[in-house]
Amino acid sequence: RKACSFERIYFSRGSDESIYRERIALGHKLSSTVLKAIDYDLKNSIFSFIPNTAETAFYGLIKGAEDYLNQIKIERILSWGNDVDPEKLTEMVNRRVRIEKIAIKDVKLRTFITEDSSRNEMVQHVYDITYGTVRAGQDTLVVIDDSIVRGTTLKESIIRMLSRLKPKHIIIVSSAPQIRYPDCYGIDMSKLGDFVAFRAAIALIRERKMDSLLTDLLAKCHELDKKGELHTENLVRQVYKPFSLDEISDKIAQLITPQDIEIPVSVIYQTIETLHEACPENTGDWYFTGNYPTPGGNKVCNKAFMNFMEGRNVRGYGS
């Protein structure tokens, strides 16, 4: 069925058994990529989650890291043969994945669904930080979020807040894939320029002097619109086509990092493939792939692109 996987990740009641297991799986699917990003250095890495809704995926991420650590313990202990003493064995057995409650969010505030005009002001007052948890200049801080939509909260609040702990490296992990396309089925997300993934692709296009791609797509949109065929094809997919997932993720990391923050920031996203493995019953992935279940989705997406290109800060709904 084409039920929306993003709504399941973000809005569903977490106490439901199947949703709980799927969110655990989303975190677990990310563990191998995260371990590679920290160069498997669990001793000098701290794991946490922001916001509270990402806690379940966090458990899955930690389970994956613990599975890796336990395998290392087994291999090391077996390699010792008979050369084992209680102190050495105790130290190995007691190794743990380091987890901390780094930030606390006011549960009454939800920045994603806040009115546009008040979001930037509000995000600066949503979180408080836990000091004394990070070894300055030594620890990598890995923080999982359930999704990254606009990047506003990250840039205006979270990255700046985390940097006060002075970690060696900040890695933001999204349990959802890159949100690239607007919605027209209930969630008010129809302005392409709001999406940090779209802004990242646009930035890459302009950096590489590929602006003709955008003007050609705009002309094609107008051509389809005149024929009454704007619903027949999602042209916005072409915006992302020249770039890899990692290229866009790296650009997103740049966009969400305040200019005065010198600590390296990286972003890791769920892939479409692992999303479907974790949530096999909800295959509606149009937020991430642009594969809309109805022609109306293509029309809204193309209209949103036209609005962006022509400087109209309006939603993509309507004719």
Burial of 58 (0-12, 13-18, 19+ CB in 10 A): buried
Q: Which two tokens stand for residue 147?
A: 């999704």
Task: Give residue 134's pLDDT band: very low, low, confident or very high (50, 70, 90).
Answer: very high
Q: How many beta carbons lie within 10 A of that of residue 169, not counting itself?
A: 16
pLDDT tens profile 215-261: 999 999 999 999 999 999 999 999 999 999 999 999 999 999 999 99
Rounded Cα gap, residues 75 and 315, in angstroms: 56
pLDDT at residue 159 greater than cutoff 80: yes
Task: Give residue 82's pLDDT band: very low, low, confident or very high (50, 70, 90).
Answer: confident
Residue whose structure tokens are 């990598």: 140
- Mean pLDDT, the chain, rounded, equals 88
- Which one has a higher pLDDT value, 2 or 312? 312
- Which one has a higher pLDDT value, 37 or 314? 37
Q: Which residues of the chain form beta strands (DSSP E)?
A: 45-49, 98-99, 103-105, 127-129, 140-145, 169-174, 265-269
Rounded Cα gap, residues 218 and 309, in angstroms: 7
pLDDT tens profile 108-129: 545 444 555 454 554 555 566 7
pTM: predicted TM-score of the whole model, two decimal places = 0.90
- Which one has a higher pLDDT value, 146 or 35? 35
Q: Which range has the worst mean pLDDT, 10-14, 56-60, 131-135, 189-193?
A: 10-14
Residue 270, pLDDT score: 97
For 124-149, what is the mean pLDDT?
Answer: 85
Nearest to 64 by CA among 236, 308, 212, 268: 268
Q: Which two tokens stand for residue 187?
A: 């969630």
Task: Give residue 187's pLDDT band: very low, low, confident or very high (50, 70, 90).
Answer: low
Rounded Cα gap, residues 119 and 256, in angstroms: 15
Residue 11, pLDDT score: 65
pLDDT at residue 20 greater than cutoff 60: yes
- Dmax of the chain from CA atoms? 80
pLDDT at residue 135 greater than cutoff 90: yes
**Phi, psi angle pair for 265, to nearest 5°:** -125, 130
Residue 132, pLDDT score: 83
Q: Which two tokens stand for residue 273?
A: 């493939």
Residue 188, pLDDT score: 65
Rounded Cα gap, residues 132 and 253, in angstroms: 25
Tell me the DSSP string of 80-95. HTT---HHHHHHHHT-
Q: What share of the chain is helix, strand, coil (3-state, %, to 5)?
A: 50, 10, 40
Q: Choose the CATH number for 5-309 among 3.55.10.10, 3.40.50.300, 1.25.40.10, 3.40.50.2020.
A: 3.40.50.2020
